[in-house]
Homo-oligomer: A and B are copies of this chain.
Amino acid sequence: MKSKNITSADVARLAGVSRSTVSRCFKADSRISDETRKRVIEIADQVGYQVNKIARSMITRESDLVGVVSSGLHDPFAVVLIDELITTLQKMGLHPILLDASNEAQLEISIKKLAQYQVKSIIITSGSPSSAIGAQFVSLNIPVVLLNRAGQLDQANLVNCDNKTGSTLAAKIFREAGHTNLAFINSKSSTYSGRKRGEYFEQALSLQIESGDVRLRQIQTDVAGYEGGYEAALKLLKNTDHPTGFYCATDNVAFGFMDAARYEMGKKIPEDFSIIGFDDLPLSARASYNLTTIRQCPKDIARATADCIQSIGILTKPKRTTIPVKLIPRGTVSRVKNS
């Protein structure tokens, strides 16, 4: 168990150089002769020496560790996003430490611990609780990246998908298909993105709503995600004069809505109504849902996040990035029937 680690001193002795020289061999920019470096690295490899990052961190006061906080992996978009984040960070030589934020108290503790590890940065994904958390880090001088989250924090980097364009697109599709009775489905305890999508949807339709040509209901479900959509369908589809076009805050909400509609109320989609989601999850492309949706690309978000982290120390001002979205037409929107 105590198999004494090989240290830079060992390598130094073996190579007949000083510890400083060994140290310099393992950093990018150092005035050191190629020859020496080569020899030292070779010897290091032979004896299996690896720099002790812990010791290095202590003196450089920074690490390759990055905190990623999310409220679990329950939300399917969080899954694809975090997946992308992990691989992107890994490619940059950074290591993500995952924090679950579904339990706020637990999070508080973990966050403190993170700070103790001198994380290079902390990424907070949508859905995770109070931005007071972010503030804590800002005050600790740890750069914060907020993903699809409100921008109350002036000093945080912001990456947001283009909810406005997304919702405008959705509105356009519904109008072109002749839908005049619409609803936006979201949960009461919505994320920032969800709220914004609803607002922009309404905004895109404001003229038609004022003129009375379009009716828009903002539906707030008690629970979030799939179950929320399920609940909404059960309530909304009871009456015969229900909306014909449903715009859901997320694909996951749409799935719940569709499942309830099909399996509980015997509805057909898109014959009985049209529905549009947001995210474009892998599941949305499957035949079972085949959902028309607004795609926000996790890769783009991850890349933008990487950019934020890379510019740490270079840029003084935090970055704000808007990620483009794209309409993915599939099989859940049809022309409204003339009644």
Contact = CB atoms under 8 A, between A and B. Distances in A.
A112 B263 CA distance: 51
Contacts of A74: 83
A57 interface: yes
A116 B26 CA distance: 13
A95 B93 contact: no
A58 interface: yes
Contacts of A106: 90-91
Contact of A86 (B54, B90, B100): B100
Given A90-B110, A97-B96, A99-B90, A117 B263 contact: no
A72 B83 contact: yes
A58 B57 CA distance: 10
Contact of A58 (B51, B55, B110): B55
Interface string A20-45: 00000000000000000000000000
A165 interface: no
Contacts of A51: 116
A268 interface: no
A135 B98 CA distance: 25
Contacts of A58: 52, 54-55, 58
Contact of A87 (B83, B100, B262): B100
Interface string A57-74: 110000111000000111
Q: Pick the 6 closest A-B CB pairs, nearest first.
A: A263-B287, A73-B83, A53-B116, A54-B57, A87-B100, A95-B97
